[in-house]
Amino acid sequence: MRRLLILLTVMLLLAGTAAAQSHGRGYYKDLFMDSGIMLTSRTDLPVAELLGLSMEAFISTRHSYTEPYRFTATDTLRQRELIAGSPVDENGILLYPDGQPRFRMVYMNGGRAGKHGTSLEEAGRQAYRDFVSAGGSYLGSCAGAFLASGGVLSPGSGKIEKTDVYLGLWPGYTTSTELNNSFTALDLEPGRDWAGCFDPGAWAPLDSTRHNGGCFAAEPFPSGTEVLARYNTGGRKLERNINGLPCIWAYKASGESGRIILCGSHPEGAREGANLNLMAALVRYALAGNGTPRLKAQLRPGEARNMADRGNPAYAPLGDRQYHHFCIDVPDGVGKMVVDLKGVVGSDDFDLYLFAGRDGFAYGDNAAWRNIGERVDKKLEIASPKPGKYYISVFCATTVISSMGKYGVEYSGRTDVLNGVPYTIKVTFE
């Protein structure tokens, strides 16, 4: 009876997950917000609630530009452990054990870009680079835009600064607007596909978007840069003329990498109106730019593949709510195909699910064959399989318990899943 109840519960959870995150399968959650050292200590993001996105955050001790900084050793240690990794979570909160993105996207707050980049240290900066390279998307406003660039270009001297502590996710350079504590209008760039991410029913002109020491994209732009919106400061006398310069731009290096969106202004705090709609469109466009899922390997009949080597992404263990995808070619005349999933002694009390299908990657909501339930060991038997390519996936249903603490997210429960669940998988033909 207990197993039946568990099975029914699991099926409901899978159906609910598929409905809520049909485009987010294989990620732990949708969004991670960095409110870390020298950034705005934002505790919520209105757009996440609007779009129904699951979110976690790191929130450092609050600071201001007029008072002494009150950061402690705990801020530094907590940020280092979360982003760069710790013995409990060696890959850090952004990445799975195989280096794939654990969240669909990151939002980086405003603040002081160079100082936050310095506080991340090289291991933290590299974690962000790996996250985007592997398919996670990135949205940054103001300091978050500066930080994601290759550095700051001074228009007067042509000198480039701070390249050593910036992330270089977008390989171009930013320039300061020298406009503080103000508001500007924004003009959407015509003819761009991203405009389809706006909700037409909520659309209103962007005539008052907050701006405080932000940036614009310096020309020449790297190939692949997509300007989304430009500053409209017509009729205003400013220290630097930014009218018509790029305020929001996007970049995607490849099909496997995530989309970078950089915004020189501050729509993120809006709780209603045009700026909330703008922020929603930016988040939708970022999520639409996630990298394509990757095939872990093509299996060979009769050969067991041991997924337990953290040092080799092709053989790494499985993370929480992650899928590992495999395929195998089935020849004509096979009477039965058997897929065996086995646990490793000492790590066999996690809940892994097994799926298979023929029409692309197999997920919980589209697999033709499935075996779900408690623990690791599973088997699928497919009688008289038609010849062709079959896709097999392993999903980790075990995850951590997350709660909000002083510094944002805190994990409890099955934290041992963070370093991955080892397993072996084998396909035999009979």
- Sequence-distant (≥ 6) Cβ neighbours of residue 124 within 8 angstroms: 79, 80, 83, 84, 92
pLDDT of residue 208: 94
Q: What is the dihedral of CA 399, 401, 404, 410, to 10 degrees?
A: -70
CA 289 to CA 285: how far, in whole Å? 6
| Mean pLDDT score, 81-97 | 97
β-strand pairing of 29-35 with 103-108: parallel
Enter the tokens of residue 125.
């900066």
Range with lowest mean pLDDT among 17-26, 238-247, 266-275, 319-328: 17-26
- Assign 199 a pLDDT band (cuts: 50, 70, 90): confident
pLDDT, tens digit, 9 for 90 and up, residues 258-306: 999 999 999 999 999 999 999 999 999 999 999 999 999 999 999 999 9
| Number of residues that make up the chain | 430
Q: Confirm if 279 and 287 have CB atoms less than 8 A apart.
A: no
The residues with which 174 forms a beta bridge, in sequence order, are: 152, 217
pLDDT of residue 312: 96
Indicate if the pLDDT at residue 167 is higher than 50: yes
What's the burial of 166, exposed, middle or buried (CB within 10 Å: 0-12/13-18/19+)?
A: buried
Give residues with Cβ within 8 angstroms of 174, minimum separation 6: 145, 146, 149, 151, 152, 153, 215, 216, 217, 218, 262, 264
50/278 Cα distance (integer angstroms): 12
Band (pLDDT 50/70/90 cuts) for residue 65 is low
User: What pLDDT, on a 0 to 100 scale, did the predictor assign at position 69?
Assistant: 66
How large is the average pLDDT for residues 111-132? 96
| Average pLDDT of the chain, as a whole number | 91
The C-alpha atoms of residue 380 and residue 395 are separated, in whole angstroms, by 14
pTM of the model: 0.92
- For 110-135, what is the mean pLDDT? 96
- Contacts (Cβ under 8 Å, ≥6 apart) of 315: 305, 306, 307, 308, 309
pLDDT at 6 over 50: no
Q: Name the token pair of 103.
A: 């969240």
Question: How would residue 24 be classed by pLDDT, with cut points 50, 70 and 90?
Answer: confident
Average pLDDT score over residue span 364-372: 96
3-class secondary-structure state, position 312:
coil
Query: Roughly how many angstroms between the first and final C-alpha of the chain, as a whole number?
Result: 33
Average pLDDT over residues 416-427: 98
Tokens of 381: 């038997």
Over 60: is that where the pLDDT of 70 sits? yes
Domains of the chain (ranges, CATH numbers):
25-288 (3.40.50.880), 297-429 (2.60.120.380)
Q: What 8-state DSSP symbol labels residue 37?
A: T
* pLDDT score recorded for residue 66: 58
At 17, the pLDDT band (50, 70, 90 cuts) reads very low
Give me the mean pLDDT over the 374-383 stretch: 97
